[in-house]
Amino acid sequence: MTDLTIRPITDEEYPAFVKAFMDGFAEDIPADDFPSYIRTNLPPELTLAAFDGDDIVGTFGGLDLTLTVPGGAQVPMEGTTVVTVFPTHRRMGLMKRMMHMHLDNAVEAGKPLAGLWASESGIYERFGYGIATYCDAIKMDGRKVAFRDEIEVDRVRRIPVEGASEILGPIYDERQRETPGMWARSDGWWYDILADLDWMKNGRTKLRIVVHDGPDGPDGYALYRQKGGDSDDWHDNGTVHVLEVIANTPRATASLWSYLTNIDLSPNVKYNNFPVDDDLGPMLKEGRRIQRVFKHEALYVRILDVIAALEARTYQHDGEILIGLKDSFRPHTAGTYRLTSEGGVGRCAEVDETPDVTMDVEVLGAIYLGGPGAFGYAAASRIQGAPEAIDRLNRLFRTAREPWCNWVF
């Protein structure tokens, strides 16, 4: 233990850092250019590594992100990523030490939130992260998908990857600004998403992009790849692997999905990050043609500054509640907070009073974006309080639409 140190890596150590976290995720480095690709959004100064002598035995990354919260405010968020500890160095407290440093760095940078996608869902609640958004993995047989007669569908157009971000960026930004759970994309992130390097294909085609043009310009797009396949009777039975669909009008939604379900030789359509309260199902003659394979957790949120976080979002009902917060990992975040909503604007202060409801900090993170309601957590004894107080909490935090985090980081 005396030789175990944790610090950001140097430029020279970056290849070893990438190799270490890829080992941790049971993968090899897929190509020589992979470290440069990762470095675009994760430079050395945003990393942490645990060293045993000169060897990296644990990794951590902190991404500089901006998250949309209910009401449209753009809140700085520390993205937690590439978290690994070698099996040889488990049960030595390395992850706990790296997490403390990671969250301390986020607070010092003025970020009221941290967020992540979990490779293993059982790890992060003990560090205060709660599951704030969900998504559906879906599949469809495009040959059986038919739109209702009143739904108008336009043609879409293919565009090349080169220069695509100039068209896609404004479409994405419009959706991101109004959707809690989505995060803003810099030029570096567009490079990451549209890079289309050989190792990204996994036996599929190059990246395809289609755009829908509305009366005022492009208002929707889809990213996808294809993979060929044959049926038992030798007919083509390929698959469209949808990576992202962003549509800002119902007509764009219908047009893009009509295209994706009518691609020759590829009747199978799969998408692993479909919004749980989608607009597509009601447009179809048979909504159950969208087969929801499973619902899975997406963005985890960790509240670091309770007052800043609760005052950043808006609320759809007026009211007041006293929230008793427990936080075993960062005890100074614990306390009782009075939240008051008037005209959608929240005001929050720490007080010395008896709380109406009590919960751990990960539960506050889970309900923060307006998704999972309070009643389920109360039934599981993870929120304590009188039924009236839990109902009031639920009315304050829930939003009309479910939050959605559309891309893994």
Helix axes 164-178, 187-194, angle to 10 degrees: 110
Spatial CA neighbour of 66 closest among 172, 182, 177, 183: 183
Dist. CA 113–CA 68, nearest whole Å? 11
Residue 36 Cα distances to 18, 39, 83, 188, angstroms: 10, 5, 19, 12
Q: Is 124 a catalytic residue?
A: yes
Cβ distance 365 to 313 under 8 Å? no
Active site residue 221: no
Give yes or no for a contact between 184 and 66, defined as CB atoms under 8 angstroms apart. yes
396, with CB counted inside 10 A (0-12, 13-18, 19+), is buried
Place of tokens 């008793």: 324
- Considering the candidates 21, 124, 221, 224, report the single residue annotated as catalytic: 124
For the CA atoms of 178, 181, 184, 189, the dihedral, rounded to the nearest 10 degrees, stands at -140
Residue 143 and residue 332 in contact, taking contact as beta carbons nearer than 8 Å: no
Question: Alpha helix locations (H) across 179-320?
Answer: 187-194, 250-260, 306-312
Residue 313, token pair as written in the block:
């979002």
Residues paired with 345 in a beta bridge: 314, 342
| Catalytic site positions | 124, 409
